[in-house]
């Protein structure tokens, strides 16, 4: 499977105008497709929509306070006060980069993509977006300092994220006992953020992962592509 290290993404987004970020390298554990260790998982998999609000969170450059994000949720919508976990996917041996936020308010319009993106951001024709603030301002300071300016997957709830044997973050988001895996890859001018349900005990001849959600974030300049067709195609991999 294709992937990109979070350290490389941080450097790329700094150059794209997402914020002043110190570029540091982070070793990748590779993209091997492995399964988690432990007892076999016996569950009935579901490969439709996750059933929980999922979206993309970007640093809110308009906010007077620091450490606030703007999130756009495509299907289900959160409520003011809900807990939303931000996940920065990468393939690594480090701890999963996550922070817990809460929904401060909803507003009409769209999320600014960069500091200079100010056109029609309050236009109600774009729908509704949500302002997220840290649930605990004293927590996750190291993660926030390094990653606040890079796009994250925003997921309602406080599911616990761990590393799978393949190095990718995983958590059971829909309660069916099959974990969801968070991934990131690059296309020609942007990144694709994806969530996949992983079957640790898939039947012989059947795919062991099914894409449940995908979002594209433009960077506005050329990058080296790393995505596979299964990470970018439409319709989602649930029909494969």
Per-residue DSSP letter, 203: P
Token reading at 187:
């296309």
Task: Report the chain's mean pLDDT, rounded to a whole number.
Answer: 75
192's tokens: 């694709």
In the chain, where the domains are located: 6-26+49-239
- Say if residue 197's pLDDT is above 80: yes
Residue 239 binned pLDDT confidence (cut-offs 50, 70, 90): very low
Q: What is the pTM of this model?
A: 0.77
Which pLDDT belongs to residue 45? 45
For 41-73, the DSSP string reads P------S--SS-EEEEEE-TT-SSSSEEEEEE
Contact 53, 77 (CB under 8 A): yes
């Amino acid at each position: 499977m294709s992937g990109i290290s979070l350290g490389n993404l941080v450097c790329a987004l700094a150059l794209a105008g997402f914020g002043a970020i110190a570029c540091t390298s982070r070793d990748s554990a590779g993209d091997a497709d492995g399964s988690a260790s432990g007892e076999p998982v016996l569950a009935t998999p579901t490969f439709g929509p996750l059933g929980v609000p999922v979206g993309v969170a970007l640093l809110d450059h308009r906010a007077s306070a620091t450490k606030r994000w703007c999130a756009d949720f495509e299907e289900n919508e959160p409520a003011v006060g809900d807990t939303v976990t931000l996940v920065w996917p990468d393939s690594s041996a480090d701890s999963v980069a996550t922070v817990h936020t809460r929904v401060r308010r909803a507003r009409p319009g769209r999320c600014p993509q960069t500091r200079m993106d100010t056109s029609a951001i309050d236009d109600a024709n774009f729908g509704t977006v949500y302002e997220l603030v840290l649930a605990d301002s004293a927590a996750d300071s190291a993660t926030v300092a390094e990653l606040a300016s890079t796009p994250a997957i925003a997921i309602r709830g406080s599911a616990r994220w761990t590393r799978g044997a393949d190095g990718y973050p995983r958590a059971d988001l829909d309660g069916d006992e099959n974990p969801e895996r968070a991934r990131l890859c690059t296309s020609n001018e942007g990144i694709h953020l994806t969530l996949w349900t992983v079957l640790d005990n898939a039947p012989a001849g059947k795919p062991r992962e099914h894409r449940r959600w995908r979002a594209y974030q433009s960077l506005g300049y050329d990058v080296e592509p790393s995505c596979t067709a299964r990470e970018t195609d439409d319709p989602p991999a649930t029909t494969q």
